Each structure stands twice: as C-alpha cells, then as structure tokens.
Amino acid sequence: MSTLALTIRESIRYRGRSGHWSWVAHRISGLAILLFLTIHVWDTANAYFYPHIYAWTIDIFKWPPVAVGEIPLMAAVLYHAINGIRITVLDFKPEWWKHQKRSTQVSWGLFLLVFVPIGIFMFVTMIEHWQSMGDAWMAFPRLADYPPIN
C-alpha cells in the first residue's frame, strides 16, 4: 500500500486540469459522505434497538461543533450528485468528450447555484436555533440525562 502522504500529494499534483479537480472533489466528497452515512445508519438503527441512546446521539448531532458539519455534508452530496450526472452522461456519450472542460465548469456552476442559497438558509436556520436555546446552546448532552424509554 502506498504511503498516505505520497497518495495525498500525488492526488493533488496538477495533472489533468479541470477534469482532475473534478476527480479529486468527487472522490473526497464520496468518501466524506460514506463516513457520515455509516455513522448515521448505525446511529439511526438505535431508534429501534436503543431509543434512549438515539435520543442522546441526536442531541450530539445538534451540538454546534457537530451540527455545522451538516452544511459541508449538503455541499458534498450536491456536488457528488451533479458531477455524477456529468460522469454518467460522458461515459455513454464519447462524442461529447471534447466538451469535457466546459462540462466541469457547468457542474461547478450548477453546484454553486444550488448549494449557495441552501447553505445560507441552513446556516441562518442553525443560528436562529442556537439563539433560541439561550445559555445552554453549547452544552454537551450527557447520557445520564436520557433515561431508558419504556
């Protein structure tokens, strides 16, 4: 297995122009989504298996340092989705490969168009929620405060 540092350095080294950056962004967003997804799935299963643990972990997800991660997660999903459409279309349309550079620009443009308003909306909603919580907004939830349900 290549060393991690070498892998990261070589992945970032500029080689394939715009298509290369799309490749890097697709890969990083995919891995980031998968990491969250795995945690999220095992956590959500607790709603059935251990409801009080689930009630506690929901509040950890709402704890501000974790909650802000929701915005980059949204960005990752949107970019991965839009760039995924681009990849799939080009896979089946080799005659469009000459527009590859333009296609990456369109993907980034569409992504910004969709993500920026949504990101701002999510951020404002989040701030309003924290303001409504008063002094407790930064308090880390303690498991002891979540007694077993039933």
Partner 1 sequence: MATANVTGMTHRKVQVQSNFQRWAFLFMRVSGLALLILAVGHMMIQHVLNSSSNLSIQFVAAQWNSWGWKVFDMLLLAFALTHGMNGFRNVLEDYIHNPQTVKIVNTVLAIFTIITVLWAGYAIARFNSTPFMGN
Residue numbers of the site for partner 1 (CB under 8 A)?
A: 1-2, 7, 27, 30-31, 33-34, 37-38, 41-42, 44-49, 51, 54-55, 58, 61-62, 67, 70, 74, 77-78, 81, 84-85, 88, 91-95, 97-98, 118, 121-122, 125-126, 129, 149-150
**Euclidean distance between CA atoms 23 and 82, whole angstroms:** 13
Nearer to partner 1, 21 or 61 (CB): 61
Retrieve residue 49's tokens: 């298996």
Shortest distance (Å) from residue 41 CB to partner 1: 5
Give whichever of 17 and 66 is closer to partner 1, judged by the CB atom: 66
Which of residues 18 and 77 has its CB atom nearest to partner 1 in the complex?
77
Tokens of 40: 């999220």
Q: The tokens 């989504």 sit on which residue? A: 33
Residue number with CB closer to partner 1 (68 or 109): 68
E strands, 1-150, are: none
In terms of CB distance, is 77 or 112 closer to partner 1? 77
Q: How far is the CB of 68 from partner 1 (least distance, A)?
A: 11
- Whole-number minimum distance, CB 51 to partner 1, in Å? 6
Q: What is the DSSP letter of 125?
A: H
Reported residue count of the chain is: 150
Q: What string of DSSP letters covers 62-98? A: TSHHHHTTHHHHHHHHHHHHHHHHHHHHHHH-GGGGG
CB of 140 to partner 1, least distance (A): 16
- Number of Cα atoms under 13 Å in the Cβ half of residue 26: 16
